[in-house]
A and B are shown apart, each in its own frame.
Chain A
Amino acid sequence: MDFRIFTDSASDLTPELIEELDVSVLEMNSTLTKPDGTVVDGLTLSYTDFYNALRAKATAATAAYSVGAVIEFVEPTLAAGTDVLFLAFSSGLSASCNAAKIAAEDLSRKYPERKFLVVDTLCASLGQGLLVFHTVKYARAGHSIEETFDYAERTRFNLCHWFTVDDLFHLKRGGRISGATALLGTMLNIRPVLHVDDEGHLINVEKAKGRKNSMRALLEHMKNSAILPEEQTVFICQGDCKEDAEELAGWVKETFGIKRVEIGYTGRVIGSHSGPGTLALFFLGNKR
């Protein structure tokens, strides 16, 4: 492989995966505001502390990265003579991808012999991470940067994201969720079952009664759309609800005979919108 693959921290790749895939990750910042008004840098908190703060009704915010930040991060690689394929966080959820594209134009002018290509993954969290995983695999099989770019652009629409949350407060507050009906039934333990659609937006699809049923719904959707599941690697992310993630992973392995299920934390970028208790399942399916 004669180029490098870059992504941003919205992909929630675990340190182990980052090492395994040998990708460069642009860190996105996150700020947490406690109910008493104190502001904390989200990156200084452990995931557990971060989610506990959210449980205590702190609010978290992330900012899209700037064009400058991308340039600063990517330029050294280009200057050293290596091409870059950047898999960016969904444009449906952030302006980050746009910044990356502008940076790409700038740097392409400055380094005309180099290639800096940006893919709008239309993905988030470990869904984005899973796309990175598959793209790296494809690239390592000997494909060129252009072929790999095309692969990523095709495959992103097969990247299924299905998730559920514990507490609708954060989704409500963040305003990233469409459909007023997603937020009904909070009092009565009704859980939304959501996915990311082809435009990269978070969409409420159905309501499930109680946590267990919402988890079962994720599995159902995988049954309905997964392509050759037994050959897949599946990612699951959890917002400080490790046991639920493990239970879901168990169901997935049992149902499909899948060998590898990676569980990671729902990172601060997505987590600040979906809140503690977010549980998501990512796999390749025939449609989102």
Chain B
Amino acid sequence: MKINGSLFRSMVVSAGNALENAKQKINDLNVFPVPDGDTGINMSMTLAGVSGAGREGETVEEVSREIASTALRSARGNSGVILSLFFRGVSRAFKDVERADVGDLARAFRLGTEEAYRAVSNPTEGTILTVMRHSAEAAEKAAGKKLNPPTMQELFDKILSVARDTLDKTPEMLPVLKQAGVVDSGGMGFVVALEGMNAALHGKPVVLAAERGETAGSVFGKFNTEDIVYPYCTECIVGKSADYKGENTCGDFRAFVLAAGDSAVFVDDEEIVKLHVHTSDPGKVLSEAVKYGALLTVKVENMREQHTSLTSEKEKEKKPSAVAVAAGKIEDAAVRTVNYTKSLLTPKEAKAEKEFGFVSVCTGEGIVAAFRDLGADRIVKGGQTMNPSTNDVLTQVRATPSKVVFVLPNNKNICMVAAQAALLEKKKKVVVIPTYTIQEGIAVMMAFDPDADLDANKSAMEEAMKNVSSLSVTRAVRDSVVNGETVRQGEFLGLLRGKIVCHALDRTECLSALLAGVKTAGFLTVFRGEGVSEEEGEAVVSLIGEILGKDAEATCVEGGQPLYDFLISAE
């Protein structure tokens, strides 16, 4: 059996669906008690944009190239980038291939693995990379057998089996996994993706659980066809016209949609609006939609017809959004589609008006304001829980009106995405300064000198990054054992550049322990998070005075960041 374009496409779509269905399970493997961009969501989002609709007779070369490009742009988090690079390697292997045989597949795994390893500066064993590598080795060994060569399905079964075994061994390779008693989350994601691909190869591609309506035949039976008051399930993605660009600009439209029927979901994003509503007059909704921009996708379904056919046929495979499932699931799917659609939009290039510009990744109104106050040109929203995609970063890079664009990821898990965005930008020179924290990002911007040249600025900024200490205070999101210490959910954690150094039930106690570890600091900035009052902020400033003495000058600024009560930079 050879894999043609359409089969390969369905394999990858199936992989994406499998990841989406398993995302919570994968997220839960992240045992670090600090809230962080979740591997499950990141890897799922990376493949969410792959379209199930292909061209008649498309080759595996065409499909793999399209998938590589989509995945690259939608990639989120380090694991998402690594996954997308795997598919880039695959597409390189499938060059000039119409239908892939076992040899092609084995080569695809090898090149995919190479591509992934190349992009990681410090490849660590016991992660997704190891699972990839072992799978590729097994594939090559099996496909190379002259006597009794495997069929395609046998080969893939073998690959999957080796991948699973390797995954189970990851705790032996990474002590932190062993301590937590879990396997590596990126590795699990890769295995899930392989499972999805294998399922499609065997003729049973994975379908999204939400769309299947997890409630197979039974729930449909409970509804009467006449009970469906608003029969037309109407979904539409609108590419916003210039007048409406920006988040939350279509309040009137939202109100209109909400009043048009029920089960309404309205996502009002920077570049697009995604709406979903059950209505009796879909034309009215669409006529309203054209006022706000171009209709990128439109789908109208008659749910009464579907319902009738469903209850009579009890079909498992069904079209999405037929019957109202929990609003949360629809919202989920809506956000997922919004994000993948965004990744398909080509961002506009702004003309260079000056030498240097800055793109900073951050969340929190106050923090965004601080970056702007220091001269940042564009902001990518996103940080701790929802990592931005390559395209999100690229969009802002393109919109920066300068010849050279500095990108500050401000998060360890966003560095690779920033690097990929830099590679995608052809016109401007993009320099990523690999900041791991917001505090480092701020220090870097303070070190910028518009009159100095690129190299002088790079050194100054890298120096500034080294000289700042990033302290933060957050709450543990789960029980965990870290460095032999037991941490309980809800306890306050004190972190130094992302590593837990102390924990306590009382926040002031935690802060004191954290600050005590700071040797000498003359200049501190405290960003207070969402829900932390000005008085509480001032109390921290006083505490700093007590612990670090008169020579330490501290300022408290309203950061408004979620999850972290305090982000403190000390220089």
CA distance A181 to B457 in the complex (A): 15
B446's contact among A186, A207, A212, by CB below 8 Å, is which? A207
A287 within 8 A of B: no
A210 within 8 A of B: yes
CA distance A185 to B525 in the complex (A): 12
CA distance A186 to B557 in the complex (A): 11
- B374 near A210 with CB under 8 A, answer no
Q: A187-B369, A189-B553, A210-B553 are in contact. Are A181 and B523 (CB under 8 A)?
A: no
A56 within 8 A of B: no
- B375 near A209 with CB under 8 A, answer no
Which B residues are CB-close (under 8 A) to A184? 373-375
CB closest residue in chain A, given B551: A212
Which A residues are CB-close (under 8 A) to B144? none
CA distance A227 to B375 in the complex (A): 38
> Chain B's nearest CB lies how many Å from the CB of A168?
11
CA distance A212 to B553 in the complex (A): 8
B181 within 8 A of A: no
CA distance A138 to B522 in the complex (A): 43
- B522 near A186 with CB under 8 A, answer no
Most buried by A among B450, B522, B523: B523
- B551 near A188 with CB under 8 A, answer no
B555 within 8 A of A: yes
- B369 near A209 with CB under 8 A, answer no
> Chain A's nearest CB lies how many Å from the CB of B397?
21
CA distance A185 to B444 in the complex (A): 12
Q: A211-B553, A212-B551 are in contact. Are A185 and B523 (CB under 8 A)?
A: no
B555's contact among A189, A207, A212, A213, by CB below 8 Å, is which? A189
A213's contact among B373, B450, B523, B525, by CB below 8 Å, is which? B523
- A185 near B553 with CB under 8 A, answer no
CA distance A210 to B370 in the complex (A): 15
Within 8 A of B (CB), among A107-131: none
- A186 near B373 with CB under 8 A, answer yes
CB closest residue in chain A, given B527: A188
- A188 near B374 with CB under 8 A, answer yes
Within 8 A of B (CB), among A133-185: 181, 184-185
Which B residues are CB-close (under 8 A) to A207? 446
Interface string of B522-563 (1 = CB under 8 A from A): 110100000000000000000000000001010101000000
CA distance A186 to B525 in the complex (A): 12
Which A residues are CB-close (under 8 A) to B571? 209
Interface string of B490-526 (1 = CB under 8 A from A): 0000000000000000000000000000000011010
- A187 near B523 with CB under 8 A, answer no
- B374 near A213 with CB under 8 A, answer no
B394 within 8 A of A: no
A190 within 8 A of B: yes
- A210 near B442 with CB under 8 A, answer no
CB closest residue in chain A, given B376: A184
CA distance A185 to B442 in the complex (A): 10
Q: What are 12 of the A-B contact pairs (CB < 8 Å)?
A: A184-B373, A184-B374, A185-B373, A189-B523, A190-B374, A190-B446, A207-B446, A209-B523, A210-B522, A211-B553, A212-B551, A213-B523
New contact pairs (15) apart from A185-B373, A189-B523, A213-B523, CB-CB < 8 Å: A184-B374, A184-B375, A185-B374, A188-B374, A188-B442, A188-B557, A189-B553, A189-B555, A190-B446, A209-B446, A209-B553, A209-B571, A210-B553, A211-B553, A212-B551
B residues whose Cβ falls under 8 Å from a Cβ of A: 369-370, 373-375, 442, 446, 449-450, 522-523, 525, 551, 553, 555, 557, 571
